[in-house]
Amino acid sequence: MKDITLKIVGKQVFEDAEEDQIEFITEGKLYEKGDSLYLIYEESEFSGMPGCKTSLKVTGNCLRMKRLGTPASLNTAIEFEKGKRYTGLYDTPYGAIEMEVLTNFIERNLDSEGKGTIDIDYNISLKGLAESRSKLNIEVR
């Protein structure tokens, strides 16, 4: 298991307005198991999910995000794979919301050490609340 630094930039894309962006830098761990690469880090106050641990499993051009937290009601999993639709529940402190994610684009540019970037462009729908297009850039250092 290697120590890494992760820089995560999330952008919400609006048709007629500027993008809304959040940037998060944190320490984490990286390890390989089989043909998958795992990136693990602790969420913080800044990310809005203190007490949660996030695991990113990267296999080929597929990324599965799993977030486990305290309270347990914050547990969430999302899978990003180009052209595929993922449905599940997005847990919040106020209850679970039905979620649908459609990945428009995913690109993995990681070297043999696991360093580099992962870019994802996706549409997300939280049933009855919001629909938006988002971009996620994960830089592994």
Per-10-residue mean pLDDT, the chain, length 141: 96 81 94 96 74 92 89 78 93 81 96 95 88 95 96
63 and 73 in contact (C-beta within 8 Å)? no
Q: Residue 11's pLDDT is what?
A: 94
As for how many domains the chain has, the answer is 1
Q: Residue 91's pLDDT is what?
A: 75
Q: Residue 14's pLDDT is what?
A: 81
Instruction: Provide the residue range defining the domain that includes 106.
Output: 2-140
Q: Residue 74's pLDDT is what?
A: 64
Residue 22 to residues 8, 19, 47, 124, 136, Cα–Cα distance (Å):
8, 10, 9, 17, 10
114: CATH = 2.40.128.20
Backbone angles phi, psi at 72, to 5 degrees: -60, -15
CA-to-CA distance for 60 and 81, rounded, in angstroms?
10
Q: Residue 46's pLDDT is what?
A: 63
Instruction: Give tens-digit pLDDT for 33-55.
Output: 999 999 999 987 666 667 789 99
Contacts of 89 (CB under 8 A, 6+ apart): 76, 96, 97, 98, 99
Whether pTM > 0.85 for this model: the answer is: yes
